[in-house]
Amino acid sequence: MTIKWKKELVSASVLLLVLLVGGAFTACTTPAPEPDQVSVRLKWLHQTQFAGIYVAEKEGYYAAENLAVTIEPVDLDRQITTEYVLSGEDDIAIGSGEEMIIARSEGQHVRAIAVIFRLNPLVYIAPAEAGVHTPADLVGKTVALSPGQGTYLYEAMMAQAGVDRSQVNEIDTTAWDIYECWKTADVCAQYATNGLARAQYDGVEATALWPIDYGVPFYADVIFTSDEFIEEHPDVVERFVRATLKGWQKAIEDPELATDDTLAFDDSLDRDFQLAAMKMSIPLIDTGEDTIGWMKPAIWQTMHDILLEQGLITAPVDLTTVYTNEFVEKAK
């Protein structure tokens, strides 16, 4: 082998090495794809009611799915969250089961993709001295009702219990604090994890009417989006549901962490109370049946039939358009 040929071989080898190293360096420094932006609208103000979403954000579950998620509380003057999704203000929101059915009956293309509270925490709370133990005890009382779910469940419960609503003084809720509400009403519609938990935390005796005890097993806090968003971004929906359900599983396993992650979104919250509310939520979310997020067809059918019977919808609705378990199934 000549010296010249050896030099050419060495030069070629060096060049090849440079190209290989350069290619490897380029491959290593290829920027990751930009995360998909997702905006989420809660159905209430920041609190542990939405702990699983906060955990998914703070513990990096959304980031691991290449999602950049913004989480906004509801505007108390616009509490029906279907409005935010249908207007395009938000991609995904939290609503209630019956709101999905009613929206569909009105031609609004929203669809539930998972349920959080499988046992509905919306209850009708009274101070113990009011003597409210059954729906019949509401006769002659003043009941403060919140818009949407708070009214729908009340109407269904009263009908199921056979109570004449004309004998009840029904008013709109003007205060969201349970004690302020009791100044104008005998009974107030609130989540057990809010108003009832607050009374118990403060050592105040109170009673609550649970609609599920009167044949109204409506789902609460369903995650939903629009048909259009599902059609255009099915992979985003799948990743969001997977990360969110992972967040809820972690929140149930570690309520202390869930509470701390909640306070990251509003540090003015009372940590001890939020922790108590979180612990009250756990058996309403993780019922021991199926997986977290899974929706039972029989429950949707019962909700539908009660709404139809009570005239809250005027014609049957195709429930296959109202909800899907597709993304919960993929998240398993």
Domain co-membership, 170 together with 209: yes
Judging by beta carbons within 10 Å of its beta carbon (0-12, 13-18, 19+), is residue 282 exposed, middle or buried? Answer: middle
Q: What distance in Å separates the CA atoms of residue 184 and residue 199, rounded to the nearest whole number?
A: 17
- Is residue 3 in some structural domain? no
Q: Please name which of 247, 251, 295 lies closest in space to residue 277, comparing C-alpha atoms.
A: 251
For residue 30, being part of any structural domain is answered with no
On whether both 100 and 228 belong to a single domain, the answer is: yes
Last residue of a domain, one of 180, 214, 248: 214
Q: What pLDDT is attached to residue 138?
A: 98
In this structure, the answer to whether residues 223 and 114 fall within a common structural domain is yes
Residue 29 is assigned to a structural domain of this protein:
no
Instruction: Quickly tell me which residue has 């089961």 as its tokens.
Output: 97
- C-alpha distances out from residue 196 to 49, 127, 166, Å: 13, 10, 26
pLDDT of residue 85: 97
Please report whether residue 11 resides in a domain.
no
Helix (H) or strand (E) holding 6: helix 3-28
Same domain, 251 and 232: yes
Angle (CA) 181-74-83 rounded to 5° is 115
State whether 66 and 137 are in the same domain.
no
Domain assignment of residue 16, yes or no = no
pLDDT of residue 13: 43
As for how many domains the chain has, the answer is: 2
Same domain as 250, residue 163:
no
Please check whether residues 255 and 115 belong to one and the same domain.
yes
Q: How far is C-alpha 163 from the geometric centre of its chain's CA atoms?
A: 31
Which tokens is 106 given? 């009105």
For residue 29, the model assigns a pLDDT of 59
Looking at residue 329, the DSSP 8-state letter turns out to be H
Among 185, 214, 243, the domain boundary falls at 214
**C-alpha–C-alpha distance, residues 68 and 51, integer Å:** 17
**310: helix, strand or coil:** coil
| Terminal-to-terminal C-alpha distance of the chain | 64
Residue 82: predicted pLDDT: 96
Residues 82 and 166 in one domain: no
Residue 2 lies in a domain: no
What CATH number did the domain enclosing 107 receive? 3.40.190.10
Same domain, 114 and 236: yes
Which pLDDT belongs to residue 332? 84
Given this model, what pLDDT does residue 238 score?
98
- Could you write out the DSSP letters of every residue in 150-210? HHHHHHHHHHHHT--GGGSEEEE---SSHHHHHTT-SEEEEEIIIIIHHHHHTT--EEEE-
Query: What pLDDT is stored for residue 292 in this prediction?
Result: 95
Pair 58, 154 in one domain = no
CB of 145 closer than 8 Å to CB of 206: no
CA distance linking residue 77 with residue 278, whole number of Å: 26
**Residue 27 forms part of a structural domain:** no
307 Rama class: left (phi>0) / alpha (psi -120 to 50) / beta: alpha
Q: What is the pLDDT of residue 12?
A: 41
What are the tokens at 256? 């202390």
- Domain of 176 in residue numbering reads as 122-214
**Residue 15 confidence (pLDDT):** 36
Q: What does pLDDT average to in each consecutive run of 10 residues of the chain (332 residues)?
A: 42 37 48 92 97 98 98 92 96 96 97 97 97 98 93 93 97 92 97 95 97 94 98 98 98 98 97 97 93 96 94 96 97 88
Final residue in a domain of this structure, among 198, 214, 230: 214
Report which residue type is found at 202: D
Question: What is the rounded CA–CA span in Å between residue 272 and residue 305?
Answer: 40
- Residues 189, 152: Cα–Cα separation, whole Å: 11
Instruction: Note the pLDDT of residue 76.
Output: 86
b/e map of 128-143 (b: 16 or more CB within 10 Å)? eebebeebebbeebeb
Which pLDDT score, from 0 to 100, does residue 174 have?
A: 82
Q: Is residue 18 part of a domain?
A: no
Determine the Cα–Cα distance for residues 70 and 38; give it in Å rounded to an integer. 6
Task: Examine the domain organization and report whether 126 and 108 are in the same domain.
Answer: no
Note whether 286 and 177 are same-domain residues.
Answer: no
